[in-house]
Structure 1
Amino acid sequence: MNIPMLDLSEQYQALKEEMLVALDQVMSSSRFILGDNVKKLEADVAEYSHVAHGIGCGNGSDAIHIALQAAGVGSGDEVITTAFTFFATGGSIVRAGATPVYVDIDPVTFNIDPAKIEESITDKTKAIIPVHLYGQTADMEEICKIAAKHNLVVIGDAAQAIGAKHHGKTVAEYGTAATYSFFPTKNLGAYGDAGMIVTNNDEVAENCRVIRVHGSKPKYYHHVLGYNSRLDELQAAVLNVKFPHLNKWSKLRREKAAVYTHLLNEQLGDLVKTPVEKEGNYHVFHQYTIRVEKRDELQAFLKEQGVQTMIYYPLPLHIQPVFKDLGYKEGDLPETEKAAKEAVSLPMFPELKQEQQEYIVAKIKEFYKK
């Protein structure tokens, strides 16, 4: 078999007729920037997230950056976050003028460990960015308690976790704001770059709307330094076609994850650590990530067998060359560094077939039997 990490072709064929109509309507209207499709998507995603505001922007990285600036984070501030994440989390903090402070992860969920946060708070700390990695929320109740105690902003990086819940609440209902990415590979993916900030905070929402259009309000009058980061109509139209299917796709991802977990635990036992859904969480499985020994050798073997896998993330942010001036060194975040050597993600998408999953697990078993 040849099994990709993600196959969007079947999804497109199912939506093709509706998608082409939606795109033709946009092009016929000649309204390409911040039109009715963007407004609809912003309203629908905000309602889905159980908050008042959705602010579409150019991508998920800009969403984090804009949300930080809108919440008052800037030069001289420190932002506590995890190093086990995509570069955009740390990069956006620096782009906002602040300094990232990296703390270690919970080895079970891969998310930021709340027990490590308070010891890293200084008089410069302004915000916390918990990352809801692989589709499972961080421990937001505990994180928000810490933030309230120290009067800190909380911006949830939910790039991989639209639809995920923590004790019945969406990621957007905790803290100051949350951010989504609609990169094509995400659970709700556009056909290019797109992102959104979701919040219940009226002031932060208005600041986001101003910042995404060069900081102008009214047009051509600039009181703050903003950016050109608008969600365009074509991407919003694509997402409006896909959005009604999101809950169904999340349910299918959870079903695929359950199949993987059953097969892996039954056939490989302790050789593979399967994902754990923490009590009170609703995991949407953007990725199905396991922990194994001889990870790189396993990945090479599976590639030979036609199975694509991905490593998210092989080099944690605290030891990335671009952040060397922060002074971190190997050994500072042991759980993060261990996870970076053991974690590998298996193919995951709603259309994944059980026979494909059985083949993948059989090949993993074959590798370890050797």
Structure 2
Amino acid sequence: MAEKVSVVKCNSYDEELVLEKVREALDLIGFKVKQGTNVLIKPNALMGKVPEEAVTTHPAIISAVCRILKEKKCNISIGESAGFMALGGTDYALEKSGIKKVDEKYNAKLINFDKSEIVFKKINGEILSSINIPKPVLDAEFIINLPKLKTHTLVGYTGAVKNMFGIIAGGKKAYYHKTCGNQKRFSNLLIDIYFARKPDLNIMDGIVGMEGNGPSAGKIKKTGVIIASRSGVALDFIAEKIIGFSGDDIQTNTALIRRNLKPEIEIRGEKNIRVSYEKPIKTFRGRLEFLIKIFYIVINPRIKINHKKCRKCLACMKSCPANAISFVNEKIEINKNKCIMCYCCHEMCPESAIEIGPSKFVRFIINIKNLAKKVLK
């Protein structure tokens, strides 16, 4: 049977409008929540950013879901583990993003997975044979996954599958970045984690997304959609189509196809919405590896510190799983020999002071190409 995915237009975060559109999206896939269900909501609270910066799931989306659940007298929890442990970590991210206020409004239980009891679970993944999961995730009767529509410098896009990486508590995320660093392994790791406790419902905040070098330092992109499905996998393939990505632009989708996990999909609602997104800078980790071993240094995008933007908060240094970043003479320095190109520093910098651009070799090729065009005119 085909997985139903609804796509609904929604052009603002007006709370009543969002509520109406979330209801419409759920009606289109035939979803009804049972009375008195114990529900865990998993938003995207990557880091401490205000809603207008389009890094986290907007509070209006979470509020709409909570309101619908309260009508059915559901017991609501909201849980997350942010991407960065320092500077207040998950607690700060939940407060800054406005998610804590929603939690208080609906008298929900706010759960910081970093402070939760961890349970060992055996799984049959491609990368993982076991996983440590916060007990509230395993205890949840029903999980609603609320991803944010954004690009991602490592895997191309962060959606429903990637958002479940946030059930991994604390520093274990950095460990996985280090040990599963290339695109192929990391994408398969994300899939293993997603299926370790597959969410029961997925609703994507695509009203305002992020393009370019996301998931935290990209460009804000008005997209005007809410997407819903019982299948996060199906949702991600429809989101891919909406933002104009294809092929291996989204590494998790590529891995899902290879593992025969892409379902048949039936779109309900808006079927022809297209909002072209700027793609993140291409990385070559995990591709043509026999060549990369030779050309890795000259081909792969370079990470650069914008010292004018840098506020010396050391978020980059504390989030680096390879310990490749140091603070020397009042400046951040990156050891290129240690750097594993996971882009955690770029993802977690609150000032967007970690910039990614073409290597000198690639810039040289681009300049030659542009010069040739001028000469041939």
Task: Give me the TM-score of the superposition, normalised by structure 2.
Answer: 0.32
More helix per residue: 1 or 2? 1
More strand per residue: 1 or 2? 2
Q: Which structure exhibits the higher relative contact order, with contacts defined as CA atoms closer than 8 Å and separated by 6 or more residues?
A: 1
